Amino acid sequence: MLSNIRWDALSQYFPLFLKGIVTTVEITVISVLIGVILGLFAGMGRLSVHWYARLVPNLYVGFFRGTPLFVQILLIHFAVLPAIFGKTPPAMVSGIVALSLNAGAYIAEIFRAGIQSIDRGQMEAARSLGMSQGQAMFNIILPQAVRRMLPPLGNEAIMLLKDSSLLAAISLPEVTYYAKLMAGKTYLAWEPYLTIALMYLVLTLVLARLVKFLERKYGTV
C-alpha cells in the first residue's frame, strides 16, 4: 500500500494540514475554556432548590445533549447567528459558539455530579463557620469536586477535539477541511484521510497523557 501512496501530492498539501491542525487545537482550547464556564453555571443552576432557577439550565442541557452536534453547527451558523447579527458570521465564530455550547451542556452534568459527590456535611460545616453558601461552594466544595471531575473533563476535551472535524461542513479551515480539499482536487482518498487520522490520533494521545498527568498530580488517590 505504501508503494502506491502519492507522496508528491501529500507533500504538496501537508503544510495545509499543519495549518489546519493549529486551527483545530485553537478551536478546541477556546471551546473547552468557554464550555467549562458555561458548564459551571449551568451545573450549579441545575442544583438550585428553586424550579425557576433550574428551568433555563435544564432546557439548555436537554437541548444540546439531545440533538446531534452536526445539526447544532448548521443551525447556529445558518440560522441563529444570522438572525442575531443580520448576516452569516465567519465560520470560526460559529464553530466556537457551537462547540462551546455543546461542551457546556455535557460539562454541566460533570459539574453537577461532581458537586453532588461531595458529602453534604462539608457544606453544613462551612456554613456553621460563618461562610455564605457561595463562599462555601467556591472555597470548599468546588476545589474537591474538580479533583474528582478531572477524568470526565479530560474525556470531554478529547471528544471535543475529535468533534471539531464536523466544522468542515461550514467550511471552517481546520484539518478535515483541507483533507476534503485535497481529496476533491486530486481524487485521492488514502493520502489525505489517513494522514489526518494519524494527526488526530497523535493529538488525542498527547491530550490523554496530559489528563493522566493532571489526575496523578491533582486527582483523588
* Nearest C-alpha neighbor of 165 from the set 183, 182, 184, 178: 178
Interval 113-141 mean pLDDT: 80
User: What does the mean pLDDT of the chain come to?
Assistant: 90
pLDDT at 38: 96
Domain ranges of the chain: 2-218
Residue 221: pLDDT above 50?
no
What confidence tens digit (pLDDT) does each residue in 161-206 have?
999 999 999 999 999 999 999 999 988 889 999 999 999 999 999 9
What is the grid cell recorded at 9? 501530492
pLDDT at 157: 95
**Which residues are within 8 A (CB) of 3 and not within 5 positions of it... i.e. 6 or more apart?**
none
Query: Cα(141)–Cα(66) distance, rounded to whole angstroms?
Result: 29
What is the grid cell recorded at 200? 488526530
Q: What does CATH list as the number for 2-218?
A: 1.10.3720.10
